[in-house]
């Protein structure tokens, strides 16, 4: 997972990554083990956080389009094999940067399943150090 490869760099900027997924704790642990992750994972099978943050659902073009197919092929080229889908396959993701006072600093709402901001983009949203 590219995000995990950047974990130390993100921590240098004071960013703690927390993943949210729709699976069970058992599925989350299998995901963590399979991908050799050390991130905290929140299990949200009822999608309450997805709703609270206003995350969108994809139409069929958000799942199968030239952009998502190319993204999938790139992931395969990096050795990432797809697993069996679980949960709502149409639920899109988001990336949020939240400060220690729970203030929202940055929000990225995915427009398709392959839409994720780069770590550089996320770090670029941090407020200047005062």
Residue 130 placed within a domain: no
The residues facing 123 across adjacent strands are none
Residue 129 placed within a domain: no
Rounded distance between C-alpha atoms, residue 17 and residue 49, angstroms: 15
Which residues of the chain carry a pLDDT beneath 50? none
Q: What is the pTM of this model?
A: 0.74
The pLDDT of residue 71: 67
Residue 34: domain span: 2-124
Residue (of 86, 101, 105) closest to 45 by Cα position? 86
The CATH number assigned to the domain holding 116 equals 3.40.30.10
* Maximum Cα interatomic distance, the chain, rounded to a whole number of Å: 46
Q: What domain count does the chain have? A: 1
The pLDDT of residue 31: 87
């Amino acid at each position: 997972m590219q995000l995990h490869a950047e974990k130390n760099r993100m921590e240098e900027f004071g960013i703690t990554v927390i993943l949210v997924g729709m699976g069970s704790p058992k599925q989350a642990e299998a995901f963590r083990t399979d991908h050799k992750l050390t991130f905290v994972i929140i299990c949200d099978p009822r999608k309450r956080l997805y709703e609270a943050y206003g995350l969108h659902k994809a139409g069929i073009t958000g799942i199968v389009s030239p952009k998502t197919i190319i993204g999938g092929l790139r992931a395969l080229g990096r050795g990432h094999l797809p697993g069996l889908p679980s949960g709502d396959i149409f639920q899109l993701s988001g990336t949020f940067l939240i400060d220690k006072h729970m203030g929202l600093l940055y929000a990225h709402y995915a427009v398709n399943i392959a839409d994720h901001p780069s770590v550089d983009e996320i770090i670029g949203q941090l407020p200047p150090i005062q």
